[in-house]
Amino acid sequence: MTRAETVAETLLTLPLGSFRGHSLGGDWLVVRSLFAGGASEKLVARRLDGTDYVSLNLYRLTSGPRLKPCEMPAAKVAAFVADLTVIDAG
């Protein structure tokens, strides 16, 4: 499975809208949004202590998912998503 496929599969398990989560040793405020009828989605997360930020777009294409991190390495966003546990889906 590719990194994009793994992230795409994991994102489906996360709630839409804003929620608190725990990942990479810290607590985060996370927002997951869908666009274009679910063909595109965005995840933005800010670590609550202000020390980190994660942002990605994922495009669900017929040829397979495309992961587009926002000005950060794909490995960082993949590690964040893989380790993310929902604390409070509000």
Domain boundaries, the chain: 3-88
pLDDT of residue 84: 98
And the tokens for 77?
Answer: 């966003």
Residue ranges in the chain whose pLDDT is less than 70 = 90
The pLDDT score that the predictor gives to residue 88 is 86
pTM reported for the whole predicted model? 0.93
Q: Torsion over CA of 60, 61, 64 and 67, rounded to 10 degrees? A: -50
Q: How does 9-43 read in b/e, with b if 16+ C-beta sit within 10 Å?
A: eebeebeeeebebebeeeebebebeeeeeeebbeb
The amino acid present at 88, given as its one-letter code, is: D
Q: pLDDT value at position 38? A: 87
Q: In 10 A of CB 7, how many CB atoms?
A: 21
Structure confidence at residue 82 (pLDDT): 97
